[in-house]
Amino acid sequence: MCGIVGYVGYRQAQPILFNSLFRLEYRGYDSCGIAIADNGITVYKDAGKVGNLEKRVPHLEGTAGIGHTRWATHGEPNQINAHPHCDCSGRFAVVHNGIIGNYRLLKKQLIAEGHRFISETDSEVIPHLIEKYYRGDLEGAVATALKDVEGCYAIIVLAAGESDLVAARKGNPLIIGIGDRENFVASDVPAVLDDTNRVVYLEDGDLGVISTAGIRIMRDGREVAWEEKKILWSVEDAQRAGYEHFMLKEIHEQPRVIRDTLIGWLSSDESSGESLVDLTKMQGDIRPLTLLACGTSYHAALVGRYIIEKVLGIPVRVELASEVNYYDRPPDGAVAIAITQSGETADTLRAMKRAKAAGCLLLAITNVMDSSASRIADEVVYTRAGPEIGVAATKSFAVQLIILYSLAILSYKVDARRLADLVMELRQLPEKLERLLSDKDGIKECAGYLAGYESVFFIGRGINYPIALEGALKLKEISYIHAEGYAAGELKHGSFALLGENTPVVAILARDNTYQAMLSNIKEVKARKAPVIALAEEGDDNVGEFADMVISVPAVDLLFSAVVNVVALQLLAYYTARERGCPIDTPRNLAKSVTVE
Taking a C-beta distance cutoff of 8 angstroms, is the pair 36, 14 a contact?
yes
Q: Minimal CA–CA distance to 558: which of 514, 517, 510?
A: 510
Q: How many beta carbons lie within 10 A of that of residue 329, not counting itself?
A: 8
Q: Give residue 456's identity as a one-letter amino acid code.
A: V
534 in helix, strand or coil?
strand
- Which residue pairs, CB below 8 angstroms and at least 24 apart, start in 116-123? 116/88, 118/80, 119/75, 119/80, 119/81, 119/85, 120/74, 120/75, 120/76, 120/80, 120/81, 121/74, 121/75, 121/81, 121/83, 121/85, 122/73, 122/74, 122/151, 123/74, 123/83, 123/85, 123/94, 123/96
Q: Minimal CA–CA distance to 167: which of 36, 6, 385, 323?
A: 6
- Cα–Cα dist 180/162, whole Å: 20
Catalytic residue status for 592: yes
Among candidate residues 170, 249, 474, 592, the one labeled active-site is 592
Among candidate residues 2, 294, 446, 582, the one labeled active-site is 2
Helix and strand numbers, DSSP H then E, in the chain: 18, 25
Q: Minimal CA–CA distance to 342: which of 185, 129, 513, 187?
A: 187
Q: Give residue 71's identity as a one-letter amino acid code.
A: W
The HSE-up count of residue 408 (CA atoms within 13 Å, CB side) is 26
Catalytic residue status for 360: no
Q: With both helix axes pointing from N to C terminus, report the angle between 465-479 and 561-579 in degrees, rounded to the nearest 10.
A: 20
Q: How far apart are the first and last CA of the chain?
A: 11
Taking a C-beta distance cutoff of 8 angstroms, is the pair 50, 82 a contact?
no
Q: Which residues are catalytic?
A: 2, 592
